[in-house]
Structure 1
């Protein structure tokens, strides 16, 4: 398992676009972007050049989609991912464009949140959501790319059920253990009993369970919340996971940098246990 960091795509900043990765002495990142205007061959060529110069491997493209996104329990179900019908067609096409971009830069997969996939498989909207995800997955498969769900708005069993119904060969999971807790969807260690065989990437993030029915739990530095990282990593080893551990800290500024550095040290300790 190699330690990396999630990194936002910016092509107009001075210096190397991967300096924020290199400053942590890392050589792997998930490249994240919500701006479809950057999903071009020109931007891809610059990414490839600067990643090679910085000796940074891009382990996946985290693909943002157009339209509103409310990270809560009130507007979230009607704004996030491919679930809201009003934005679905546009977002399917956006994810295909990110798949093109991933192919151009040599990344193995795209990752996204698919949204609040219905828990009830008899929900009249469930089949349409599955079909929308399948359309993107098939497009990725045609390019020999993976399509990886980031955990968050759905329970592990819903992810498993949906993967089984889509049925393509390229499906995987970017397991964010904090999101399972922040959304109150499950215990990260137990989730590996359900979806462990599909885990391709892991976000190293932590948090607390929700304390009311409208807002997510509080995200904190890895090791300070409810994710039991020593036992979580031990379980990942047990099931044979050998993918990347991508640190994500959803704040900014010096505190974010300090927390990432502390997490690198902690991860090295947990991995050696």
Structure 2
């Protein structure tokens, strides 16, 4: 089980795209793309070349979508993922573009947030959201890659229900245990009882539960929040998880670097405790 980091796709520098990943000595990363203008064969060719030179494996492409995105409980439901109807068509197109890109670079899957998927399965919008996800998942399937949901805005049972209704063979989950806490959607350890068989990657992140009805909980360094990582990782091992642990720390600068290094050390310790 490799340890890696989430890494932004940025071609603006002449440096190797994976320079930062190499500086951490990580063998793997999850490549995060937001600029759909980079979904070209030429950029893909550079990514393949420079990943080989840096000896870094891309374990998935995290696929960002155009349009607004507000990460809270007020505007989040009307801006995030494939749920808001007014952005759905262009976002389906963008995700298909990232699927093309992932297939060109040999990544096994794309990952995205699908948004605040309706909890009520009788909501007339729910089948439309399922159809939109299925359209993207089928396109990924045609390219020989997976479509993986990142946990966040939905409860584990909603995610399971949606996977069952989409019904393609290539569905998986990039489990962000912190997001379940930050959004107040569940306990990560218990969530594995519901969605464990679909987990393919882990975002190593941590957080605190919300204490305000409008705002998410606070993100903190792994090990300092409510994710019980030793227990969580032990349970992952018990259910047969063999994927990557991808560190994500949503701050910047020197503190981010220090936290990533500390989390790397902690992960190795927690793996020994399994």
TM-score of the superposed pair, with normalisation by structure 2: 0.99
* Matching residue of 1:108: 108
Per-residue deviation, residues 189-213 of structure 1 (Å, max 9, x unmatched) = 0000000000000000000000111
Per-residue deviation, residues 82-118 of structure 1 (Å, max 9, x unmatched) = 0000000110010000000000000000000000000
Structure 2 counterparts to residues 15-54 of structure 1, below 5 A:
15-54=15-54
Residue aligned with 1:181, SS: helix
Residue aligned with 2:266, SS: helix
Shift of 1:240: 0.4
* Matching residue of 1:247: 247
Distance 1:79 1:260 in 2: 30
* 4+ residue runs over 4 A deviation: none
* Matching residue of 1:188: 188
* Matching residue of 2:64: 64
Q: Any unmatched runs of 5+ in structure 2?
A: none
Distance 1:200 1:61 in 2: 13
Shift of 1:12: 1.9
* Matching residue of 2:77: 77
Distance 1:48 1:147 in 2: 21
Per-residue deviation, residues 118-145 of structure 1 (Å, max 9, x unmatched) = 0000001000000000000000001110
Is 1:141 the counterpart of 2:127? The answer is no
* Matching residue of 2:163: 163
Per-residue deviation, residues 1-37 of structure 1 (Å, max 9, x unmatched) = 1100000001121321101101111010000011001
Residue aligned with 1:119, SS: coil
**Which region of structure 1 is more displaced relative to structure 2, 173-182 or 17-26?**
17-26
Q: Alignment RMSD, CA only?
A: 0.5
Residue aligned with 2:96, SS: helix
Distance 1:116 1:91 in 2: 15
Distance 2:183 2:94 in 1: 25
* Matching residue of 1:153: 153
Per-residue deviation, residues 201-250 of structure 1 (Å, max 9, x unmatched) = 00000000001110000000000000000000000000000000000000
* Matching residue of 1:211: 211
Is 1:93 the counterpart of 2:93? The answer is yes
Distance 1:73 1:52 in 2: 41
Distance 2:181 2:256 in 1: 21
TM-score of the superposed pair, with normalisation by structure 1: 0.99
Distance 1:80 1:238 in 2: 33
Q: How many residues align?
A: 273
Distance 1:103 1:138 in 2: 14
Q: Any unmatched runs of 5+ in structure 1?
A: none
Distance 1:156 1:140 in 2: 23
